[in-house]
Amino acid sequence: MKIKRILFPGNIKEARKIQAELLNRLKIMPLKRQPKTVAAADAAFSEKEVMAGVCLFSFPDLKLLEIQTATEPLLFPYRTGYLSFCEGPAIYKAISKLGREPSLLLLDGQGIAHPRKMGIATFIGIILDTPSIGCAKSILVGKFEQPGIRKGSASEIFHQKEFLGYALRSRTGVKPIFVSPGHLIDQKDSLRIVHLCLSEFRVPEPLRQAHLLSKKIKSLRL
């Protein structure tokens, strides 16, 4: 598939078809090697534009190595289950501008914990053929038991008897976040990597920095 067609479908029907085609390339598997770098990506959008920020960190010490940004016109308005086509073009562009290829991608959104297993982490991971993890602040599909109240507690997420990922208590006493593999990684390794990215905030530190970056870009363009 041509990258332009993947990133810029004309309508929901075409977007759904692209998701189905990409699903044939999905691989959920243990990481082949420990990542040396993690690129975290987030995006913000206005009525006309999508603004993405990517922060590249060394891993596991999480030293910031590089930042990149990108802005794309908003050609596919947000629809539940189709976030990839709203934010994906700008995120893809920002990641592609990095001076080095990241070992792993961490995205603000779902991986396979998605009605069609095609959250933005899966979508971007497949396109870039890079291990990827989805880390979301709310659940899109699946059921779980509340994890323990203390930081690091986790419980499994299931949908139609399929194991999708984890609800993770990323900070003691706060609502859990939702971790699922995107591509070229499995549930267990996704949880381990995200756990190593936690700081004193609810959101893993690389994603927190990417979020702040995308919001800054948006504020400068308004």
ω into 60 cis (within 30 of 0)? yes
Decide: residue 185, CB within 10 A, 0-12 exposed, 13-18 middle, 19+ buried: buried
- What residue spans define the domains of the chain? 3-139+179-188+195-221
Q: How far is CA 82 from the centre of its chain?
A: 13
Taking Cα atoms as reference points, which of 61, 69, 11 lies closest to residue 38?
Answer: 61
What's the pTM? 0.97
What is the fold, at CATH topology level, of the domain defined by 3-139+179-188+195-221? archaeoglobus fulgidus dsm 4304 fold (3.30.2170)
Per-residue pLDDT of the chain in tens (222 residues, 90 and over written 9): 689 999 999 999 999 999 999 999 999 999 999 999 999 999 998 989 999 999 999 999 999 999 999 999 999 989 999 999 999 999 999 999 999 999 999 999 999 999 999 999 999 999 999 999 999 999 999 999 999 999 999 999 999 999 999 999 999 999 999 999 999 999 999 999 999 999 999 999 999 999 999 999 999 876
